[in-house]
Amino acid sequence: MAFPPEHEIHKRRLGRNVGVAVTLGLFILLVFALTVVKVTRGEPMQAFDHSVRPEMAEPEEGQ
C-alpha cells in the first residue's frame, strides 16, 4: 500500500529537504563572499609550511 501522494508527511519532508537545500546554498554563497572579500583585501594567502620563503618575511626597520 502506497501513501497517498498528497499525504501531510510528504509535505513536511519536502519542507525539511527544501530547508536544508536552501541553508546549504546560502552557506556556499556566504563562504564564496567571504573568500572574495579576503582575497581582494590582500590578506595573507600563504601559510607557514616549514620552508623558507623570503616573500613572507616581515620587512625590517629602515627598508
Question: What residues make contact with another protein under the rule CB under 8 A?
Answer: 1, 7, 9, 12-13, 15-16, 18-20, 30, 33-34, 36-37, 41
Query: How far apart are the C-alpha atoms of 49 and 34, rounded to whole Å?
Result: 24
Residue with Cβ nearer another protein (15 or 56): 15
Closest approach of Cβ 31 to another protein, in Å?
8
- C-beta of 19: minimal distance to another protein in Å? 3
